[in-house]
Amino acid sequence: MRAIRLIMQRELAQYFSSPLAYLIAGAFLLLTGVTFYSDLNFSLGVRPVEPALIPNLLAQVMIVFAPLLTMRLLSEENREGTMELLLTAPVSDGNIVFGKFLSAWAYYTFILLLTLLYQFILVNIALPDISHTIAAYLGIWMYGGAALAVGLLFSATTENQILAAFMATIALLLLYYGDSLGRVVASADLAYILFNLTLQGHYAASFAIGAVRAEDIVYYAGLIVVALFIAIRVIESKRWR
Amino acid sequence: MIEVKNLVKRYGTFSAVNNISFEAAPGEIVGLLGPNGAGKTTTMRILTGFMPPSEGSVKVEGFDVLENSMEVRRRVGYMPERVPVYLDMTVHGYLTFWAKLRGMKQPNTQVNQMLERFSLGDRRNKLVRSLSKGLRQRLGLAQALVHNPPVVILDEPTIGIDPQQVIEVRETVRALRENHTVLFSSHILSEVEQVCDRVIIIHKGKIMASGTPQQLAKKYKPGVHLYVSLSGRSQSEIRALLESLPKVDNVREQAAGFVLSSRTDADLRADVSSIIAKHQLTLLEMRLVEVTLEDIFLNIVDKR
């Protein structure tokens, strides 16, 4: 536990001292801010505000942002050779991966909390469905964790950050839009199964409309566990090479 | 305490380390010497718990690297050849991180001691990124020693730094002898000769020779070697005169003179001066030639 905390602390400090992380946070807020503003304008006369507006946007944005946040975490250790020191420290491989993952998730939580600003504005000028918003935020928080875990997995496989980010983006795209395949198959059952395997399938159909379902939480938690487990194995395999 | 028994490490069909055994006791500096690719780094990586051995048993402070990896890792300080560092941390933060990760609860005093010892105190709040190669090397050593491990493993710690710093590093390593078992690798022979109590020469994954530098000198290049440079006659005449000396077994041309070798420990100087007097030669230079590990090393490596 202590090792996990130490590694997580170090990585978090790196996030807050690196320009990239601030750029990402800035882009994050700009994007969500513009979206919020235009939705607010729209909702003046046409329809009520969308309570899950920001989380819905993030569901797609995270496909790009999660790899950017995680690409460095393990690939840099591989490239700089510090992995050799980590692997000879009295720390299990699992602790290393878990500490790194928690730091990314904590940083993501931090920028997610920044977007709560919009909800405070909204509460002051309208009557939004707060429980709907909370459900959507819970969903996108879990969803983000899963996306980051996938990003971390690809960071473990290579020394090249760009390659790690690229492969993770492709994997997330497949995981997100995989259900498009369901639209071209003739079987409704198969389409249903495919839909339920995708990131989108466990967000759009539930959290986005304000529903919290155990199966969706289990799906994201499961994805985190599987991705981290493979990442640990990838690191272990480096010892045998 | 390091005990290595019949260690084998294979990568596929290639054996990087092929059945080596050695021991290192506390208070001893053991040098691993060999050309690049001899298996030094692989041996060290196995000792630090970075990679498992294919065969054989490796124990550090009585703990097996496979069965008690964590106990081994707690007791080893390691500086890899590349001296990896986290560029975006401060010098103080970097040492504190490793000290804590290796189980120290309150590492502040130790960290400050290390900063003092390696003259990094005035840079404690500087980013590691701003350090020169030599300073990073010192930081790497501090990192390996900060948790005061009984066993210290240094993989080519003097590569790529300037001569002044090389001397500093050697002195640091020698000072470690009191409280640590030190395993030190190098392909620079004079360095191993200066620093180590015992030398293990490895080549192509096998131990070729081991012992103190003096023992190795005796075993692989016994006898006395004398360099003389004379004038007054032609070189070939001088050579013939030198070869005629009864105790001289071999005469070899070197620079402007000759190296005389004798298999016994006889003193050749008296004989040489008698020739000088007899044939009225002029003595330009005469000195004993030290046997270097280089000679021994080439001698051993060539033979196989």
Kindly report the nearest CA distance between residue A45 and chain B, in angstroms.
51
H or E stretch covering A214: helix A214-239
Domain boundaries, chain A: 2-239
- Measured in degrees and rounded to the nearest 5, phi and psi for residue B245 equal -65, 135
pLDDT at B223: 74
B117-141 pLDDT, tens per residue? 888 999 999 999 999 988 899 999 9
B240-273 pLDDT, tens per residue? 888 888 888 888 888 888 888 887 777 888 888 8
Residues forming a β-bridge with B178: none
Kindly report the nearest CA distance between residue B245 and chain A, in angstroms.
59
C-alpha distances in Å from residue A72, one per residue of B151, B161, B254: 32, 29, 57
Nearest CA in chain A to B100: A6
| Chain A interface with B: residues with Cβ < 8 Å | 2-3, 6-7, 10, 13-14, 17-18, 80-85, 87-92, 239-241
Q: Which of B101, B102, B159 to mutate to test the interface with A (most CBs of A within 10 A)?
A: B101
By the 8 A CB rule, do B111 and B172 touch? no
Cα–Cα distance, A147 to A25 (Å, whole number) = 17
Q: Could you identify the residue written with the tokens 């930081």?
A: B139
B64-92 pLDDT, tens per residue? 999 999 999 999 999 998 899 999 899 99
Q: Which of B10, B50, B70, B95 to mutate to test the interface with A (most CBs of A within 10 A)?
A: B50
CATH numbers and ranges of domains, chain B: 2-211 (3.40.50.300), 222-290 (3.30.70.100)
Number of helices and strands (H, E) in chain B?
Answer: 11, 14
Question: Residues A71, A31, A67, CA angle at the centre, nearest 5°?
Answer: 10
Query: Does the pLDDT at position B304 exceed 60?
Result: no
Q: In one letter, which amino acid is B296? A: I
Residue A120, exposed/middle/buried by CB under 10 A (0-12, 13-18, 19+)? exposed
Whole-complex ipTM: 0.88
B contacts of A89 (beta carbons < 8 Å): 73, 98, 101-102
Closest CA to B226 of B270, B171, B185: B270
A114-161 pLDDT, tens per residue? 999 999 988 888 888 889 999 999 999 999 999 999 999 999 999 999
